[in-house]
């Protein structure tokens, strides 16, 4: 299981802080400007340098960190900026877990293929816990 931290526009600053605090290797970082070009959904110049995804190892835990620009993600509210990440081993497992978490919950991003994963989706369960479901 991994942890995901979301920020409005402070991900780069937070990453540097956590690297220093926990004396980690430098995080692997991808910005919104590094996403594949999509004519139907161009990336706004104002967010190109924001962090789309990063991966920081703290002890043996993956701590993923990103910015959540307005219009591309739910608004950041202290308390919803932390998510648990489940890395499924099969598509069936990803679908089953996603659907169970969505029961009486809210689908934030449907489980579907992305350019970085075979399946990826975001769901808030009935208890208000945010989950990211991945299949790589």
Q: Going by C-beta distance under 8 Å and a sequence separation of 6 or more, which residues neighbour residue 17? A: none
What does each C-alpha distance from 60 to 1, 40, 85 come to in angstroms?
A: 10, 39, 14
Last residue of a domain, one of 29, 49, 76: 76
Residue 81 in domain: no
In this structure, the answer to whether residues 55 and 23 fall within a common structural domain is yes
Please give the helix or strand (H or E) that residue 98 lies within, else none: helix 91-102
Three-state SS string over 14-48 comes to: HHHHHHHHHCCCCCEEEEHHHCCCCCCCCCCHHHC
Our CA angle for 135, 33, 18, nearest 5°, is: 70
pTM over 0.85: no
Q: What is the CATH number of the domain that holds 24?
A: 3.10.180.10
Q: What is the pLDDT of residues 14-31, one digit of tens each?
A: 999 899 988 899 999 999
Strands 2-7 and 82-87: antiparallel
Q: What is the pLDDT of residues 104-118, one digit of tens each?
A: 999 999 999 999 999
In this structure, the answer to whether residues 21 and 58 fall within a common structural domain is yes
In this structure, the answer to whether residues 49 and 67 fall within a common structural domain is yes
At residue 133, does pLDDT exceed 90? Answer: yes
**Domain extent at residue 117:** 86-136
């Amino acid at each position: 299981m991994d942890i995901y931290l979301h920020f409005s526009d402070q991900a780069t600053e937070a990453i540097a802080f956590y690297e220093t605090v926990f004396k980690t290797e430098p995080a692997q970082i991808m910005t919104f400007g590094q996403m594949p070009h999509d004519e139907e959904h161009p990336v706004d110049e104002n967010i190109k340098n924001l962090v789309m995804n990063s991966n920081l190892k703290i002890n043996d835990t993956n701590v993923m960190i990103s910015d959540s620009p307005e219009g591309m993600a739910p608004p950041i509210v202290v308390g919803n900026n932390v998510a648990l990440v489940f890395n499924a081993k099969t598509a069936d497992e990803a679908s089953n877990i996603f659907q169970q978490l969505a029961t009486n919950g809210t689908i934030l991003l449907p489980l579907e293929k992305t350019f970085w994963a075979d399946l990826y989706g975001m769901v808030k369960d009935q208890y208000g816990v945010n989950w990211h479901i991945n299949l790589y």
